[in-house]
């Protein structure tokens, strides 16, 4: 069954494209979810017109984003993170973190879904990350992950220092609780 996609559908096509799918997939998922409509001759003609308009709009966006891509290409951003003994991070640096830094640095909104990161960064060092702006514009950014305190911290030391900072007030509270009689 031929359908016209109304929205981008992963592994099937982008909005306006005509796709050949099984009847069950079309009738039970794509059409009820508003992702596609049946392809009739009239709708195919409308879809072609929408596709041409979308191509013109995409071309305008590409020209506008080209300047941003030129500025982003080759940029090095440094991110600080708490690090353990083997250079492994406590937590990770995600596409959201990178998108926030790029948005702040360049003043244009960069969606986290446009930062192509297969899995979160969990090690210290340089990592190449691609940003998909629009169309074929995919500048590469170098993310330099450095330890927060300059030197990697041993796992036991990190827990002790965290307990030292957060635990100072609670230790005083416990001492005060022991001194006051509760009878």
pLDDT in tens, 45-88: 988 888 888 889 878 877 888 888 898 898 999 999 998 888 78
* Cβ neighbour number for residue 11 with a 10 Å cutoff: 4
Q: Do domains 2-58 and 71-179 have the same CATH topology?
A: no
In this prediction, residue 85 carries a pLDDT of 82
Residue percentage of the chain with pLDDT more than 90: 43
Here the tokens at position 144 are 């330099």
Residue percentage of the chain with pLDDT more than 70: 81
In this prediction, residue 62 carries a pLDDT of 78
pLDDT tens figures, 79-131: 999 988 887 888 899 999 999 999 999 888 999 999 999 999 999 999 999 99
Mean pLDDT of all residues in 128-150? 87
- The answer for residues whose C-beta is within 8 angstroms of residue 61's C-beta and 6 or more apart is 134, 135
Mean pLDDT of all residues in 19-40? 94
Reported CATH class of domain 2-58: alpha beta
Mean pLDDT of all residues in 169-178? 37
In this prediction, residue 14 carries a pLDDT of 86
Query: Nearest CA to 158 among 51, 63, 85?
Result: 85
Q: Residue 17 pLDDT > 80, yes or no?
A: yes
Going from N- to C-terminal start, the domains of the chain cover: 2-58, 71-179
Give CA angle at 101 (97, 103), nearest 5°. 115
Mean pLDDT of all residues in 160-174? 35
Q: Residue 3 pLDDT > 90, yes or no?
A: yes
Band of pLDDT at residue 22, cut at 50, 70 and 90: very high
Q: What is the mean pLDDT of the chain?
A: 80
Query: Nearest CA to 94 among 109, 112, 67?
Result: 112
| pTM greater than 0.85 | no
CATH of 71-179 among 3.10.430.100, 2.60.200.30, 3.40.50.10420, 3.40.50.720: 3.10.430.100
């Amino acid at each position: 069954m031929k359908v016209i996609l109304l929205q981008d559908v992963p592994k099937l096509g982008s909005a306006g494209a005509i796709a050949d799918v099984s009847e069950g997939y079309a009738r039970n998922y794509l059409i009820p979810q508003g992702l596609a409509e049946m392809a009739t001759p009239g709708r195919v003609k409308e879809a072609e017109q929408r596709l041409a308009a979308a191509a013109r709009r995409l071309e305008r966006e590409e020209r506008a984003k080209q300047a941003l891509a030129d500025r982003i290409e080759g940029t090095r951003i440094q991110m600080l993170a708490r690090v353990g003994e083997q250079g492994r991070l406590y937590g990770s640096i995600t596409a959201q973190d990178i998108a926030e830094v790029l948005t702040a640095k360049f003043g244009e909104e960069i969606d986290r879904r446009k930062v192509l990161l297969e899995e979160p960064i969990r090690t210290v060092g340089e990592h190449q990350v691609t940003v998909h702006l629009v169309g074929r514009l995919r500048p590469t950014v170098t993310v330099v992950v450095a330890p927060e305190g300059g030197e990697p911290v041993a796992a036991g030391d990190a827990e002790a220092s965290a307990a030292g900072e957060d635990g100072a007030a609670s230790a005083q509270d416990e001492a005060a609780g022991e001194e006051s009689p509760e009878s």
